[in-house]
Amino acid sequence: MKSMGRRGFLAAATALGAGAGLSAYAAVSAADEDDTPAKTPDKAPDIALRDRDLPFMGTEETFSTPTLLKLNSINEDHIAFLEEIGLSDLGQRRIGDMDAGGLNVQILSAHTPSVQNVPGQKGIDLAYRLNRQLVDGPIAKYPGRFKAFATLPLRSPEAAADELERSVREDGFLGALTNGHIAKKYLDHPDFEPVLARAVALDVPIYLHPGYPADEIFKIYYSTTRSEYTEEFQDYIFSGSGYGWHQEVLTQCIRMITYGVFDRFPKLKVIIGHMGEGLPFYHQRIINDMGEPTENSLEKPFGQYFQDNFWVTTSAFPQTELLQLLLKFISVDRVMFATDYPFADIKAQTDWFRGVDLPREDKEKIAFRNAEKLFKMKVPVK
């Protein structure tokens, strides 16, 4: 891709990397202005005051390293932007932002697409080094404040399964996070059954984070013939957090159900972020239209898999109306808090959730208790 000026890049790069949450705040403000005055303004301050002591675990919190920045960035301006927002800071700046927002724990995951598309021994070694950097760095330096999802060398599935087991058993990792397609294949492909089987054996979840589309898909769906738009990175953002990422994750979820992944691995646990990646909006349409053609090939009704095998996080979507819609279709026992730091502001999202009008018990489940149960841990409370 062409280089671009720093000013232009920073203006356009809100979404580069994972920044959907920054634009979400504007949507929240607009929605709040349109709310019926009699509903929330009187309640919200009282509810936020009641829940000011609410502990939080952030379940989708991103980091990078100099190696990853070079591997996964477009150009030097992109690297500068990611460094400026604190993506590679795993020290006092990140801890300070967590403290300011009242976020007790971050579960760290590597910046998309991490090393999952690096083949062979190089990918295996990179994944191991990244995982060990977390253990020897922030996890050791700030006890109790950081947990992690493993980075896996998915181009080598057997090695990826082994690294998942090593990182869980030896280093206390909570599962793994993947980033979109792996060399044009998704996790429903038979190649990745060793990874899924190991996750089930270890009883840990796999977090499906978005990744950028394959070149062919990018050209068909997102490319433009107008160079002036390419120079503003419109096509890149369009294919990522501006739209494409969320459809990509939901597509992968539907593939995994449709092609029998959860029948082969009924105890497989999958997490998706961004308030369900569009699932609440499409839920009825998906289960109605996919139910009939899969009736004779799946062991359960199509919609049941969303209830049995999926957890959803709120990452980067601090919007009450979307949470309410999500809770119509997904049990409150399967929803977890996340911020998508550093692409979204921690305090803005914890402040939002403290003011959400839900019973205290339900808010505790979303804020930290569901994560405690899924990850078999306790959130340290100051």
Concatenated DSSP letters of 291-323: HTTTTTT-SS-TTHHHHHHEEEE-TT---HHHH
Q: Which two tokens stand for residue 278?
A: 């569009």
- At 195, list the tokens: 């990874």
Sign, CA torsion 295/298/300/301: negative
Edge-to-edge strand ranges of the sheet holding 105-110: 57-63, 105-110, 146-148
As annotated, the active-site residues are 340
As a whole number, the mean pLDDT across the chain is 90
- Concatenated DSSP letters of 41-88: TTHHHHHHHHTTT---EEEEEEE--HHHHHHH-SSHHHHHHHHHTTTT
Which residues 6+ apart lie within 8 Å of 130 measured at CB? 65, 67, 68, 110, 114, 115, 151
What is the DSSP secondary-structure string of 155-222? TSHHHHHHHHHHHHHHH----EEEES-BTTB-TTSGGGHHHHHHHHHHT--EEEE--PPPHHHIIIII
C-alpha span between 6 and 74 (Å, rounded):
13
Q: How far apart are the first and last CA of the chain?
A: 47
Question: Which pLDDT belongs to residue 230?
Answer: 85
Contacts of 123 (CB under 8 A, 6+ apart): 115, 116, 117, 153, 154, 155, 156
The pLDDT of residue 42 is 58
Q: How far is CA 111 from CA 53, 67, 203, 215, 348, in A?
A: 31, 11, 24, 20, 22
Strand order across the beta sheet in which 335-336 lies: 176-179, 206-209, 270-272, 310-313, 335-336
> What pLDDT was estimated at residue 111?
95
Residue 382 has what pLDDT?
Answer: 66
Q: Residue 225: what residue type?
A: T
Helix (H, G, I), strand (E, B), or coil: what is residue 331?
A: coil
Burial of 190 per CB tally in 10 Å (0-12, 13-18, 19+): exposed
| Amino acid making up residue 360 | R
Query: Do 45 and 355 form a contact (C-beta atoms < 8 A)?
Result: yes
What is the model's pLDDT at position 216?
96
| Segments of the chain with pLDDT less than 70 | 1-42, 382
Q: DSSP per residue over 115-128, as a string?
A: TTT--HHHHHHHHH
Q: Is 106 helix (H, G, I), strand (E, B) or coil?
A: strand
